[in-house]
Amino acid sequence: QIFMPLNFLGFVYREIRGSLANIDKLFNLLAQVPKIKDTENAETLKTTNPTVSFKDVHFSYGEKRKILSGITFTVPAGKKIAVVGASGAGKSTIMKLLFRFYEPNEGKIFIDGKDIKQLSQDSLRAHIGIVPQDTVLFNTSLKENIRYGNPKATDDEISQVIKLAHLEAFIEKLPEGLETTVGERGLKLSGGEKQRVAIARALLKGASIMIFDEATSSLDSASEKAILSALRDAAKGHTSLVIAHRLSTIIDADEILVVNEGAIVEQGTHDDLLAKDGEYASLWQTQQRNKLEP
Ligand code: ATP
Q: φ and ψ at 195, to 5 degrees?
A: -70, -30
- Does the pTM of the predicted model rise above 0.80? yes
Q: How far is the CA of 269 from the centre of ligand 1 (A)?
A: 25
Q: Which of 87, 294, 252, 289 is nearest to 281 (CA)?
A: 289
* Amino acid in the structure at residue 28: N
Count CA within 13 A, CB hemisphere, residue 231.
Answer: 31
> Which residue's CA is minimally distant from atom 1 of ligand 1?
87
CB-ligand 1 contact for 262 (6 Å cutoff): no
CB-ligand 1 contact for 129 (6 Å cutoff): no
Q: How far is the CA of 89 from the centre of ligand 1 (A)?
A: 7
Q: What is the pLDDT of residue 190?
A: 86
Quick one: 98 exposed, middle or buried, by C-beta within 10 A (0-12, 13-18, 19+)?
buried
CB-ligand 1 contact for 10 (6 Å cutoff): no
Q: What is the pLDDT of residue 294?
A: 54
Q: What is the pLDDT of residue 293?
A: 62
> Which residue's CA is minimally distant from atom 31 of ligand 1?
61
ipTM computed for the complex = 0.97
Q: How far is the CA of 88 from the centre of ligand 1 (A)?
A: 5
Q: How far is the CA of 263 from the centre of ligand 1 (A)?
A: 14
Q: How far apart (Å, rounded) are the C-alpha atoms in residues 129 and 70? A: 25
List average pLDDT for each run of 10 residues in the chain, which is 294 residues long. Answer: 86 86 81 80 92 97 89 96 92 94 95 96 94 89 93 93 91 91 84 90 93 79 80 88 89 95 96 95 89 63
Q: What is the pLDDT of residue 29?
A: 76
Q: What is the pLDDT of residue 153?
A: 93
